Chains A and B, each alone.
Chain A
Amino acid sequence: MRRVLAVSLALGLVAAQTVPAHAYLKFGVRVDGRDVTLKWNRSVRYYVSDRGVPGVDPPAFQAALSRAFATWEAVPSASIAYEFGGYTSALPGEDDGRSTLGFVEEPDLDRVLAATGFLIDASTGELLESDVFFNSIFPWSAASGEAGRFDLESIAVHEIGHLSGLGHSALGETEAAESGHRRVIAAEAVMFPIAFSAGNMSGRRLKADDIAGISDIYPDGGFGSETGTISGRVTKDGQGVFGAHIVAFNPATGAMIGNFSLDARGRFSIAGLAPGPHVLRVEPLDDADVESFFDPEPPVDIDLRAAFFNRLVSAPRGGDSGAIDVSVVGK
């Protein structure tokens, strides 16, 4: 029997938080004692709310969403496809079997620009419905780089990544702002959980980390045969580290793709790497934003020093590096 589970995740793109880290992350559920990746098993039909906001009428809203969906669809190494089903008067968040994207006024979520929720088949990990709301308390723009307004297309690209099954990437750097919040210094993944300031459009373009993530879930176009994987363990004092960030940097292309150590043994796997030698860098996910990446249990180990693995690691074409044992020390 199919168990349907509504997942309310803190997957919002927020205006200010922190996390100097790196990685793409897939959503998963435990099915019969094994981890299953959340994914769509069919083309995603989506509906667009017929409610606009000042500056963005429904056709402009739909056009911006269409461009954002097309951005993910254009990844040559991924097979996911989306289909516009039409306008709807329903709001996002209603469990009606329709994936709906729309504006909703959420004044209590005064730092959340947008968020994505899911309906999943908990027995298979299949995504059944995914709704995205854009918080209408913020100023929005469907045009190009309007000052003082958040770029709808950029934020939609991020949320559609969630809708497709991707979690947050930690590939970004932040600093404390006078307001007490965190300001983004730089990011290299549209799936980074903190948005650039209003008017910025850099989130419209996918980065290597995003492309690897979506391709890992929906591999196509030679993804498995043309790219490589680096996998191994992160250990501290001989014990596995849960939640460490591992980034594979390619000195030939400058591309960075990462992942986390995802179990008590500290095991990690980074797919989608261009064949060639890579630099591995490990760092902790070390402040309050841990919950935007992981559930509270098991606790993420943030007591480790950032470090490089002491050898270059080659990602073989169509294969796996073999077990790399990255040893770290506490702070």
Chain B
Amino acid sequence: MIGRKPPAACRAPAATRWVIGAAFSALALWPVPARAQAAPLGGRFEVAAGGLWVQGTSVGGADATETAPDGTRFRLFASRGSLGPAPGLEGRFGVRLGSVLRLEGSGSFAKPDLRVRISSDVEGISDLTLAETVSQWTIEAALVAYLARWRVGPRGIPFVSAGAGYLRQIHEGGTLADNGRTYRVGGGVDYPLTRARSGRLKSAGLRVDVRAAIRTGGARFDDRVRVAPAVGASLFVRF
């Protein structure tokens, strides 16, 4: 495949334009039309490992109140919850589907803090933040579409992705788990560092991506859908 003009790069523009419209901020990295039309995906299978940073998000909360004689609520103290930002580890396995698509399965682990900010206590206790550490696991499947006509720099290949998965958060002490669903949309750049013309290993490289991590369920104090930005960086090998 090396050096051949990928047919899909010519056949794909309609679909490609569509995903460009949904692409995330990684696409703002000055994509330029490809000059050398090298095969963007190199290898059928991909294995990757890397790090992930998920920004914190509110998880709701309620005031501690009692019933006043007139039926209104009398506040004892206020509480507001959040899930703190946290680094994590991510592993990924991918299978190429044609020349511009890749189906990926991934798993991640992080240990964010679940926090509750207490304020306005009726007896004057100083404002404070309580927390517990949550062990957070995700398993996701995503479809990645490579924007084969574009390059970021000499070798970077931009992509957009969308996926969904399962979220499990185990509270401190290991006695309670909350489950939920995850959805993600985003994009990034695959940057091949090496290419092999023979042997099982086809290429190795670096991926950087940003995504909107959308969550329902899990550890939270209301039923709202939460969206948190996330950044990932990983090393991949393809064979």
Could you tell me which A residues sit within 8 Å of B by CB distance?
Answer: 20, 171-173, 184-188, 196-197, 200, 202, 207, 228, 249-254, 256, 275-277, 279, 281, 283, 306-317, 319, 321-322
B171 touches A277 (CB 8 A): yes
List residues of chain A with CB within 8 A of the CB of B116.
251, 277, 279, 312
Q: In the complex the two chains form, what is the Cα distance from A283 to B114 in whole Å?
A: 24
Tell me if A188 and B67 are in contact (CB < 8 A): yes
Cβ of B173 within 8 Å of any chain A Cβ, yes or no, is yes
Residues of chain B contacted by A319 (CB below 8 angstroms): 175
* The one of B76, B123, B130, B222 that contacts A312, using a Cβ cutoff of 8 Å: B130
Residues A254 and B63 in contact in the complex (CB < 8 Å), given A200-B69, A277-B219, A279-B116: yes
Cβ-neighbour of B172 out of A186, A188, A310, A311 (below 8 A): A311
A210 to B73, CA, bound (A): 18
Q: In residues 217-239 of chain B, which contact A (Cβ within 8 Å)?
A: 219-222
Q: Is the CB of A309 within 8 A of B66?
A: no
Chain B residues near A317 (CB, 8 Å)? 176
Partner of A321, one of B122, B125, B175, B220: B175
- B-side residues, CB < 8 A to A, are 60-69, 71, 73-74, 76-77, 79, 81, 114-116, 118, 121-123, 125, 128, 130-132, 171-173, 175-176, 178, 219-222
Q: Contacts A185-B74, A311-B130: A316 and B175 contacting too (C-beta < 8 A)?
A: yes
A275 in complex: contacting residue of B60, B73, B76, B176, CB < 8 Å: B176
Q: Could you list 12 A-B pairs, sorted by A, with CB under 8 Å?
A: A185-B74, A186-B68, A200-B69, A249-B64, A252-B60, A252-B221, A254-B65, A275-B176, A309-B130, A315-B176, A317-B176, A321-B173
Contact B130 A308 (CB under 8 A): yes
- The minimal Cβ–Cβ distance linking A247 to chain B, given in whole angstroms, is 8
What's the nearest-Cβ distance from chain B to residue A226, in Å?
A: 13
Q: B125's closest neighbor in chain A, by CB? A: A306
Task: Contacts A279-B79, A314-B171 known; list 16 others, CB within 8 Å.
Answer: A20-B123, A173-B74, A184-B69, A185-B68, A186-B65, A188-B67, A202-B67, A252-B60, A254-B65, A276-B176, A279-B64, A311-B132, A312-B114, A312-B172, A314-B173, A317-B176
| Cα–Cα, bound, A277→B130 (Å) | 11
CB neighbours of A277 from chain B (8 A):
114, 116, 132, 171, 219
Which chain A residue has the least Cβ–Cβ distance from B80?
A: A251
Distance A276 CA – B178 CA, assembled complex (angstroms): 8
Given A187-B66, A200-B69, A312-B130, answer yes or no on A252-B173 (Cβ-Cβ < 8 Å): no
Report the separation of the CA atoms of residues A143 and B173 in the bound assembly, to the nearest whole angstrom: 51
Q: Is A196 within 8 A of B131, CB to CB? A: no
